C-alpha cells in the first residue's frame, strides 16, 4: 500500500494482477520499469524472466523481505535487486521537488545510486490513471481495466456509504477486508480505512501468493499483491 500511494501521488501508474497465472503474459506484453514483490516470489519471477523472449532486457526488482541465498545466487547480471526497506531509508535523505510540469521518471533511475538523488515529479490530476488492473475473464481472455484517481475516490465514497452514517469511525475501529488489494474493490476498502483513520486488516483468503505454495505448479493459488510499475 505504501508503494501504491507513493507512486500514484507522483503520477506513476502501476500494473496489478488479480491472478498469479497472469504474471507471465503481463511481463511479456508490458515491460516494466520496476517490479515490487515479496522476496519469496523471487525464484518464480526469475524463472519467468529467464524463459521469456525478452530475457536480455534488464529488470529492476524491489523485494519486501529478505530473499534466500539460493535465489540471490541465480540473479543474472542484467537484473538489479533492491530491498524495499533500504529504499525507504534512502528516500528520507532525498530532496523531493514537486512540479506541475510533466516529467519522465521511473523507478530504475531512482534506484541507481550512481545518479543524482534530486527527483522531479509531476502533480497528479483526477483524470490520471492510478493503476491498470489485469484480470482473466470467464472465457480465459486477459483484460486490463484502467482506474483513475477519480475512480478510486468514488470507490472510497461508495464503501463509506455502506457503513452506518450515524456511527463515526475512529482509530479504535478496524476495517477488515476479504478482498485482494489487486482489485479495485479491495483497494477502495483499504483506502476507506486510511481516509477514516481506522486500522486495516486483511484475511488470508484475500492473498494471491502464498509462501508455502509450489511455484512450479501449473495452477498457482498465490499470496500478496505484486505491483509492476510502468
Q: In this predicted structure, what is the pLDDT of residue 23?
A: 81
Q: In this predicted structure, what is the pLDDT of residue 102?
A: 45
For residue range 143-167, list pLDDT tens digits in order.
Answer: 888 888 899 899 999 999 988 888 7
pLDDT band at 103 (very low <50, low <70, confident <90, very high): very low
What phi, psi does 196 have (nearest 5°)? Answer: -85, -10
Q: Which helix (H) or strand (E) is 119 found in, with range?
A: strand 119-122
For residue range 74-91, list pLDDT tens digits in order.
Answer: 999 889 999 999 988 887
Q: In this predicted structure, what is the pLDDT of residue 72?
A: 94
Residues paired with residue 228 on neighbouring β-strands, in sequence order: 15, 35
Domain ranges of the chain: 2-146+209-229
Give the rounded percent of residues in the chain with a pLDDT score beyond 70. 74
DSSP, residue by residue, 174-198: EEEE-S-TTSHHHHHHHHHHHHHT-
pLDDT band at 98 (very low <50, low <70, confident <90, very high): low
Average pLDDT over residues 130-141: 85
Q: In this predicted structure, what is the pLDDT of residue 193?
A: 93
- Cα–Cα dist 228/230, whole Å: 6
Amino acid at each position: 500500500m505504501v508503494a501504491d500511494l507513493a507512486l500514484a501521488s507522483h503520477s506513476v501508474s502501476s500494473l496489478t494482477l488479480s491472478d498469479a497465472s497472469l504474471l507471465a503474459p503481463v511481463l511479456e506484453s508490458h515491460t516494466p520499469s520496476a517490479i515490487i514483490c515479496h522476496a519469496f516470489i523471487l525464484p518464480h519471477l526469475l524463472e519467468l524472466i529467464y524463459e521469456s523472449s525478452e530475457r536480455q532486457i534488464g529488470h529492476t526488482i524491489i523485494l519486501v523481505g529478505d530473499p534466500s541465498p539460493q535465489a540471490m545466487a541465480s540473479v543474472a547480471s542484467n537484473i538489479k535487486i533492491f530491498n524495499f526497506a533500504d529504499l525507504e531509508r534512502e528516500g528520507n535523505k532525498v530532496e523531493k521537488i514537486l512540479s506541475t510540469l510533466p516529467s519522465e521518471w521511473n523507478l530504475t533511475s531512482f534506484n541507481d545510486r550512481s545518479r543524482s538523488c534530486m527527483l522531479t515529479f509531476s502533480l497528479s490530476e483526477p483524470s490520471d490513471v492510478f493503476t491498470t488492473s489485469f484480470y482473466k475473464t470467464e472465457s480465459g481472455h486477459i483484460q486490463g481495466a484502467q482506474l483513475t484517481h477519480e475512480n478510486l475516490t468514488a470507490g472510497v465514497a461508495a464503501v463509506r456509504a455502506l457503513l452506518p452514517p450515524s456511527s463515526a469511525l475512529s482509530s479504535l475501529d478496524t476495517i477488515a477486508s476479504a478482498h485482494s488489494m489487486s482489485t479495485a474493490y479491495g483497494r477502495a476498502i483499504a483506502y476507506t480505512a486510511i481516509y477514516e483513520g481506522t486500522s486495516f486488516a486483511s484475511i488470508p483468503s484475500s492473498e494471491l501468493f502464498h509462501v508455502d505454495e509450489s511455484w512450479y505448479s501449473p495452477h498457482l493459488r498465490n499470496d500478496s499483491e505484486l505491483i509492476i510499475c510502468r
